[in-house]
Amino acid sequence: MQSDYFPEIVQVVPHTDHTVTIFFSDGKIVLYDVNPLLDKGIFKVLQNQDIFMDTCTIMNDTLSWNIKNGDPSACIDIDPFTLYELDAVNDI
């Protein structure tokens, strides 16, 4: 059964191990591991832990890294449906 729910992210919490805890408006919480992407294209800049931690935010209604100070066209983001499909975490 397909849901009409559009994943709305209400909070993101980056961690020093290059993972991000993501909180959705319906109460679901997931942990996203960015490590597999860190050696690929635009994601390489996130290898710098300060950039990863300091620019992690919600932009364009999804998990993003605001690399260019508020320019939504220059952010790195992840599809919210990809994030919502992750297994929920229960040990937060």
Q: Is residue 1 part of a domain?
A: no
CA torsion angle 53 57 20 39 (round to 10): -70
Structure confidence at residue 71 as a pLDDT band (50, 70, 90): low
Q: Is residue 78 part of a domain?
A: yes
Domain range enclosing 24: 9-84
Q: Is residue 63 part of a domain?
A: yes
Q: What is the pTM of this model?
A: 0.88
Q: Is residue 74 part of a domain?
A: yes
Q: Domain with 36 in it: what CATH number? A: 3.30.2020
The answer, yes or no, to whether residue 65 has pLDDT greater than 80, is yes
pLDDT, tens only, 20-51: 999 999 999 999 999 999 999 999 999 999 99
Q: Is residue 27 part of a domain?
A: yes
Distance CA 92, CA 76 (A): 26
Please tell me the total count of domains within the chain. 1
Contact 54, 67 (CB under 8 A): no
Q: Is residue 2 part of a domain?
A: no
Contact 22, 12 (CB under 8 A): yes
Q: Is residue 38 part of a domain?
A: yes
Q: Is residue 31 part of a domain?
A: yes
